[in-house]
């Protein structure tokens, strides 16, 4: 009984940690996106992860950022297990899996696959988009509660912490925006405004509407990409009779566009 309890607790901890890893482009947990197809704690305490992305050609940079996040999550597990992470059905799966089996760091594995991009700059770009998306949800939520633009933009951290929201996007993003704010500005005083630009500048009340329009554009783009990503993954792995066994983007689109039949005479 005690062994079963320990196993169950470890399994819960594993999925909690994996749920803290986000798709960097979409700012949504990889577990909710369905990228972690299997996460299992074995009888000896070791961990096995099967990871699958929505398309065969997903950018290796995105794969690196997510798999690096998975590695860090596994390193934080309380019992420090040995682990195996396997990437499936990706154009660089063989190289990645071979490198991981050889004990190479992800940075070394992806050094030749990184498409000559600065991964540090890529991380910052995605962090900026996540910051803006989370912030927009809170700003909209506070406006829906009837607060004036001046009241919202004058809110400091203690006032932010006691604010309450009905279940929904604002409530979901409240702790996530707080975390992003303090990560971006680690030395921030509690009495400073909570809502500032990515660069740290205050937003004048008269400019809030225009600022929200900018944030809305970021959110819509991320939501569209998220919906496309989910649809591609669902279509790719559902059982379809396709010529090469691999659904294409055309399959995805046709599966969702209603067919119009011309009326007969």
pLDDT at 87 over 60: yes
Selected residue with higher pLDDT from 107 and 1: 107
Domain with 181 in it: 119-204
CATH number of the domain that residue 14 is part of: 3.30.300.130
Same domain, 37 and 126: no
Selected residue with higher pLDDT from 68 and 249: 68
pLDDT at 256: 41
Same domain, 16 and 104: yes
Contact 36, 18 (CB under 8 A): yes
Same domain, 164 and 98: no
Same domain, 45 and 139: no
The DSSP symbol for 245 reads S
Residue 100 CB partners (closer than 8 Å, separation 6+): 84, 85, 86, 106, 109
Number of domains composing the chain: 2
Highest mean pLDDT among 96-100, 106-110, 179-183, 227-231: 179-183
- CA quadruple 218, 221, 140, 149: dihedral sign: positive
pLDDT at 164: 94
Tell me, letter by letter, the H, E, C secondary structure of 194-210: CCECCCCCECCHHHHHH
pLDDT, average across residues 131-141 = 98
Same domain, 127 and 106: no
pLDDT at 2: 61
Same domain, 6 and 101: yes
Contact 61, 25 (CB under 8 A): no
Alpha carbons 152 and 28: distance in angstroms, whole number: 26
Contact 34, 233 (CB under 8 A): yes
């Amino acid at each position: 009984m005690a062994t079963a309890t320990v196993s169950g607790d470890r399994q819960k901890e594993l999925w909690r940690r994996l749920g803290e890893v986000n798709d960097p482009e979409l700012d949504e947990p990889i577990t909710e996106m369905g990228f972690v197809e299997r996460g299992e704690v074995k009888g000896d305490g070791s961990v096995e992860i099967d990871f699958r992305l929505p398309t065969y050609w997903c950018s290796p940079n995105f794969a690196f950022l997510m798999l690096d996040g998975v590695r860090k999550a596994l390193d934080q597990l309380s019992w420090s297990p040995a682990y195996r992470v396997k990437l499936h059905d990706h154009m660089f799966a063989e190289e990645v899996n071979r490198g991981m089996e050889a004990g190479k760091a992800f940075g070394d594995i992806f050094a030749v696959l990184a498409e000559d991009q600065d991964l540090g700059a890529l991380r910052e770009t995605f962090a900026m988009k996540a910051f803006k998306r989370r912030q927009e949800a809170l700003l909209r939520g506070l406006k829906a509660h009837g607060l004036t633009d001046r009241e919202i933009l004058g809110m400091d951290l203690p006032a932010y912490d006691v604010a309450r929201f009905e279940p929904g996007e604002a409530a979901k993003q409240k702790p996530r925006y707080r975390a992003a704010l303090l990560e971006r500005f680690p030395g921030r005083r509690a009495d400073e405004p909570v809502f500032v630009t990515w660069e740290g500048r205050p937003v004048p009340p008269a400019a809030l509407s225009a600022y929200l329009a900018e944030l809305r554009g970021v959110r819509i783009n991320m939501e569209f990409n998220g919906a496309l990503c989910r649809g591609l993954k669902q279509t790719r792995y559902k059982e379809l009779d396709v010529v090469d066994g691999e659904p294409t983007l055309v399959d995805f689109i046709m599966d969702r566009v209603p067919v119009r039949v011309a009326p007969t005479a």
